[in-house]
Amino acid sequence: MKALLRQLIKKAGYTVFKTAYVPKQVDVTLDMQRLASDTPIEVIFDVGANVGETVRWFRRAFPEARIIAFEPIQATFSQLQANVGRLPRVTALNVALGAEPGEAVVHLQARARGNSLNPAVNQPTSEGRAEVVQVETVANSARKLGISRIDFLKIDTEGYELQVLAGAKDFLPTTTFIYAEIDFEIAGRHTNFFALYEFLRSYGFNFYGFYEPYHYEDGRLNFANALFVNPRMLRLNVRSASPYPGVQG
């Protein structure tokens, strides 16, 4: 029966793994659970939460964690609140995060996901719509919420990741995971991987892997999400972490 079921699933175009044997760099939350099997994920900052898809994902993966979701654009924030506002241990804040607190003008793009404080992206459109947003830092936000440690910092800010991290410096030594959108362009709409790598390496982070890669038609990698791990915060040795019993990672 199991063999027949596997054949039917394969014919339908699917491949199924037991959870323990899912390959690395398929599901970032699963890899984090493997790496931090003895280190609970208690606080998650979702920076650039948009309308809450990742909040719901993280809620399922880490049901006991406290999730703080940041979204600065008012219309998008209203959708975020409607989608996740009633989920347990979720707090949604209508602010942007950057290197310094203050105010900033965001030129609203056609797609809500395209809104950013990144100058390469934050350009006037033909419609000319703009919005003044409040800007805070990760560190200030954590302190106001009474949070002393961030276990998982996810950043999707269309190329503004380094500024967000600059406002998180006090918390980086005790952050376990950082998950950010990257590309390999020198100056573009996403953060350059090598610049992010050098910044986080100075705080002791290791690069773990890429997730959800998108490619140009000529085969070049367009952008992806990158996971960085702080080995000092893991009780498990990252170098030996493996989903396969007896196999070194």
* Under 8 Å between Cβ of 72 and 106: yes
Q: Is 200 helix (H, G, I), strand (E, B) or coil?
A: helix
Compute CA distances 234 → 112, 134, 192, whole Å.
Answer: 36, 34, 26
Give the orientation angle of helix 53-61 with respect to helix 28-35, to 10 degrees: 30
**Which fold does the domain 42-237 belong to in CATH?**
Rossmann fold (3.40.50)
Residue 111: the pLDDT is 80
pLDDT tens for 192-248 read: 999 999 999 999 999 999 999 988 889 888 889 999 999 999 865 444 444 444 344
Name residue, tokens 């986080």: 200
Q: How confident is the model at residue 86 (pLDDT cuts 50, 70, 90)?
A: very high
Q: Where in 89-199 does DSSP place strands (E)?
A: 90-93, 96-97, 102-107, 130-136, 152-155, 177-183, 191-192
Per-residue pLDDT, averaged over 131-142, amounts to: 97
| pLDDT surpassing 80 at residue 1 | no
Residues 207, 151, 49, 77, Cα dihedral to 10°: -160
| Domain residue spans of the chain | 42-237
Residue 125: the pLDDT is 87
Structure token pair of residue 109: 């793009």
Higher pLDDT, 128 or 168: 168
Q: 203: closest CA among 165, 234, 236?
A: 165
Q: Say how far apart CA 163 and CA 157 lie, in whole Å.
A: 10
